Amino acid sequence: MTTPATTLEKQAYKIGTARIGLWLFFLSDSFVFAALLVSRFYLLGDKRPHLEQGLGLIVTSVLLISSFFMNRAEVQISQGNRKGFVTSTLITMLLGIGFLVGVVGFEWGLAPFGPADGVEGAMFYMMTGMHAFHVLTGVVFLFIILRNGIKGRYSPEKHWAVEAAANYWHFVDLVWIFFYPALYLIGRV
């Protein structure tokens, strides 16, 4: 007996299951970042690495704005606004790439130390590197949903992939919310 109602219910149940899986992954992954955060305070304590404050604020803002557009994209697809969804996702993706360029391209070049120059450098490159790796995978996911979105694969009823990618993006943003003060603001130079 597969009436439309039961298939829909089954679909909803399946997405609920997938959602729990996704959140368990976030829980698991957050332990990596927590470990790095703890290491930063264990090794550096009240000292913070000497970094470009202006650049830090810029990349943080870029990531924050990208999160805004990500949320907008998800809302738009759930309302059936496919065109808006594509535009918002594209902006999110470009901002994500901008963040990567800012951190890996500029901040890594401007920092007065290399990864091998003392524990400050080690911690800074490890934390930003691990986070940048996650941003990079996030950009890949965004590219996938963008491509499938242009093809018209998503509808207000069926867009679990968008929700998953969006949640992943916000998770990466969430990590930066804690990494930014830990690297740039807390402690003395």
Partner 1 sequence: MKNFLSIGFVTGIIGQIVGTAIGIGLLTGIRAMMGLAPKSEPAAVLGAALGIIGFMIGVGGFRDWFTWAKGEDTYEAEEFHDRPGVIRYWGYSLDHKVIGVQYGILSLLLMVLGGTFALIFRTELAQSGMQFISLDFFNTLIGMHGMVLIISILMGISAMSNYLVPLLIGAKDMAFPRLNAFGFWLAVPASVVIVAAIFTGGFDTGWTGYPPLSARAPLGMQMFFVAVFFAGWSSIIGALNLIVTILRMRAPGMNMFRMPIFAWAVLATSLIALTATQLIGTSFQMVSFQRLFGMGFFDPAKGGNPLLFQHLFWFYSHPAVYVFILPGLGIISELLPVFVRKPLFGYKWVAMSSMGIALVGFLVWAHHMFTSGMEEYLRVPFMYSTLLVAVPTGIKFFSWTATIWQGRMRFATPMLFTLGAIVVFLLGGLTGPPLGTVATDLHLHDTYFVVGHFHDTLFGGYMFPLFAAIYFWYPKITGRRMNETLGKIHFYLMTPSFLVMTFGQMAVGLLGMRRRIADYDPAQGFQTTNLIVTIAAFLIALSILIFFINLFVSARKGEVAEGNIWESRSPEWALLPSPAPEHNYAQPFNVVGDPYDYGLKGSKYVETAPQQAAD
Partner 2 sequence: MDKKKPVSEIRRGVIVFLALAVLTAVEYVIGTNEAPTIFLWVIAILKGALVLVYFMHITRLSGSEGGH
- Residues 114 and 123: their CA atoms lie apart, in Å, by 11
Among 89, 92, 128, 167, binds partner 2 (CB under 8 A): 167
| DSSP at 117 | S
Q: Does 32 bind partner 1 (CB under 8 A)?
A: yes
- The token pair at 84 is 């808006």
Which stretches of 1-152 are DSSP H helices?
4-44, 53-78, 82-100, 108-110, 118-150
Among 51, 62, 70, 165, binds partner 2 (CB under 8 A): 70
Stretch that binds partner 2, among 66-74, 102-110, 112-120, 131-139 (CB under 8 A): 66-74
What CA–CA distance (Å, rounded) separates 131 from 184? 15
Binding of partner 1 at residue 35 (CB under 8 A)?
yes
CB of 91 to partner 1, least distance (A): 21
**Residue 53 contact partner, candidates partner 2, partner 1, none, CB within 5 to 8 A by sort of partner:** partner 2
At closest approach, how far in Å is the CB of 185 from partner 2? 3
Question: Between 98 and 121, whose beta carbon lies closer to partner 1?
Answer: 121
Q: For residues 62 and 96, what is the distance between their CA atoms, to the nearest angstrom?
A: 8
Q: Binding to partner 2 by residue 160, rule CB under 8 A?
A: no
Contacts of residue 151, Cβ cutoff 8 Å, sequence gap at least 6: none
The pair of three-digit structure tokens given for residue 168, joined into one six-digit string: 């992943």
Residue 127 binds partner 2 (CB under 8 A) = no
Report in angstroms how near the CB of residue 165 gets to partner 1 at its nearest: 11
Interaction between residue 161 and partner 2 (CB under 8 A): no
Nearest to 15 by CA among 181, 161, 119: 161
Is position 185 an interface residue for partner 1 (rule: CB under 8 A)?
A: no
- What single letter denotes the amino acid at residue 42? Y
Nearer residue to partner 1 within complex by CB, 57 or 150: 150
Beta bridge partners of 188: 47
Residue with token string 């242009």 = 150
Give the interface with partner 1 as residue ranges (CB under 8 A): 1, 13, 16-18, 20-21, 24-25, 27-29, 31-32, 35-36, 38-39, 42-43, 115-123, 125-126, 144, 147-148, 151, 153, 161
